Chain A
Amino acid sequence: MIEMKEVYKKYRNGVTAINGIDVRIDQGEFVYIVGPSGAGKSTFIKMIYREEVPTSGTIHMNGIDLAKIKMKKVPIYRRNIGVVFQDFKLLPTLTVYENIAFALEVIEASPKFIKKRVMEVLDLVGLKHKARMLPTELSGGEQQRVSIARSIVNSPKVVIADEPTGNLDPETTWEIMRIFEEINNRGTTLVMATHNRDIVNTLKRRVIAIEGGKIVRDEQRGEYGYEG
């Protein structure tokens, strides 16, 4: 489903973030991307949701060459992937319900379907009772649950998460991970960059370790493998 071939990424300021990556992630996989700060994890993730384009090499998602998507069409491509961030990226002026509904409004779903589907995902993340609140009225964990609900509301094949638990306390982190596990169990591919060794070592899944822009380790049911 996701396939990278000889991918290099050099930023304009001269920093080489990705230094030759070949990797393949299949439908339904749960993959952790680990590595020290500045190793290229974020760039890796950004290239998947086409915030960045590789300097050379190709990335295919379900057979689509990402480099060939025009700037104008990027949002349309992103409708096929859910994205979750460390800082949630919720629209501050919209309610919980509206934030999630937005992802369906952009594809012009019918109001009836929107209502039904938003309630479904709110139920999944356990926030049905807070639908009318603004993001600022919620705790960090709750905000992240809203953003996860938004990422899966139009049933994407893959969810990309960049440090989704980075701002959360351990207990909330596990709540979030349970939701991710549930999403993955339903067949959605999950790619998650993380610094959290507890998660990686407890909920054992495929681990891809990136250092200096290269994959240094790729193992099924792997360990976090870094100290601290």
Chain B
Amino acid sequence: MVMKVSTIRRHARESLKSLGRNGWMTFASVSAVTVTLILVGVFFVIMMNLNRVAQTVEEDVQIRVHIDVAANKHDQDTLKTAIQKIPEVKTVTFSSKENELKELVKSMGDEGKAFKLFEQDNPLNDVFIVKTKNPGDTMKAASKIEKLNFVAKVKYGQDKVEKLFKFINASRNVGAVLIIGLFFTAIFLISNTIKITIIARRREIKIMRLVGATNSFIRWPFFLEGLWLGILGAILPIILISIAYYRAFDYINPKLDGTFIKILPFDPFMYQVSGILLLMGALIGVWGSLMSVRKFLKA
């Protein structure tokens, strides 16, 4: 059955009135959402940035295949084809030893100038830079490449990469568990606070049924009330986290200059976070209130 506009308006009016009537309960519920969303928001922001770092690192992971100095052009081509045939491999790029030296000099800054002496007699190897389709397959691909002919050395920062991946994966999991835990805690808190207001209104619900109100008619104002509670509860976390992130970004970003690590820029990241917090607040509020009202509509 389609609801009439006048009925929708009535439900909206009732739900807003109810917020005012149950002043302290409203305050308690909104506070519960606020505290939860601040925690969720902080974890979320940290997690997303960790993810971002993980991504940059993942993208950066490459296998450097040092080619034996004895290999001629033909041997190199054979090696390249062989590497390309490994299923995990995405791209193979050649970097000459001259190029390698330039990169090395550049990365060392002023001290690197000393290496210019080697330009005449370059001790470095030609290199194939190999990227895998999936960063997790780096080790597998590397060990396959090691077995090929004319491979002098295979390097991919083994220990570091492994440790970093482990750390990032662990923190992702911990973060997800914490966020889910907090989410349900908030629903529990809200459904409890709303339950208290409803116990006080149990008699009212019974009277409403006596004079012909269906369950959905009774439920609507509670649904909306939960929605308002959730949205109200989301406002403060959004403001606080936005300000904090703005400050933190200004403080941290310059320090990361020159490293490969980048944190997410305020725009659009903070708008996304705000949207998510608002949505979560609404969801927590609605879910909590519907859960508690459900019980009283059975009798």
Contact = CB atoms under 8 A, between A and B. Distances in A.
Given A93-B21, A111-B6, A106 B207 contact: no
Interface in B10-36: 10, 17, 21
Contacts of B213: 75, 102, 106
Interface in A64-87: 71-72, 74-76, 78-79, 83
A44 interface: no
A49 B21 CA distance: 31
A75 B7 contact: no
A91 B208 CA distance: 8
A108 interface: yes
A105 interface: yes
Contacts of B7: 105, 108
Interface string B208-223: 1111111101000000
Nearest to A92: B204
B163 interface: no
B4 A78 contact: no
Contact of A75 (B4, B17, B21, B212): B212
B184 to A, nearest CB: 29
Interface residues of A, number: 24
Given A92-B204, A105-B7, A72 B214 contact: yes
B3 interface: yes
Nearest to A81: B212
Contacts of B4: 108, 110
Given A91-B204, A93-B21, A75 B3 contact: no
Contacts of A106: 208, 211-214, 217
Contacts of A111: 6
Contacts of B212: 75-76, 78-79, 103, 106-107, 154
Contacts of A93: 17, 21, 204
Nearest to B17: A93
Contact of B215 (A72, A90, A110): A72
A89 interface: yes
A42 to B, nearest CB: 14
B209 A110 contact: no
Given A108-B3, A108-B4, A103 B211 contact: yes
Interface in B246-299: 298
A78 B217 CA distance: 14
Given A106-B217, A108-B7, A110-B6, A83 B210 contact: yes
Nearest to A112: B6
Contacts of B209: 74-75, 78
A108 B207 contact: no
A178 to B, nearest CB: 23
A105 B10 contact: yes
A91 B207 contact: yes
A150 interface: yes
Contacts of A75: 208-210, 212-215, 217
Contacts of A49: 210
B6 A108 contact: yes
Given A93-B21, A108-B7, A76 B207 contact: no
Interface in A104-139: 105-108, 110-111
Contacts of A74: 209
A71 B204 CA distance: 18
Interface in B218-248: none
Query: Most A CB atoms within 10 A — which of B3, B17, B212?
Result: B212
Contacts of B207: 89-91
Contacts of A76: 212, 214
A154 B211 CA distance: 10
Contacts of B298: 71
Contacts of A150: 211
Contacts of A91: 204, 207-208
A206 B260 CA distance: 94
Query: Most A CB atoms within 10 A — which of B6, B204, B207, B215?
Result: B207
Interface of A: 49, 71-72, 74-76, 78-79, 83, 89-93, 102-103, 105-108, 110-111, 150, 154
Given A71-B298, A106-B211, 5 more contacts: A75-B209, A75-B210, A78-B210, A108-B3, A108-B4
6 contacts: A75-B214, A75-B215, A78-B211, A105-B7, A106-B217, A108-B7
The 5 A-B pairs at the shortest CB distance, nearest first, are namely: A79-B212, A106-B213, A103-B211, A106-B212, A89-B207
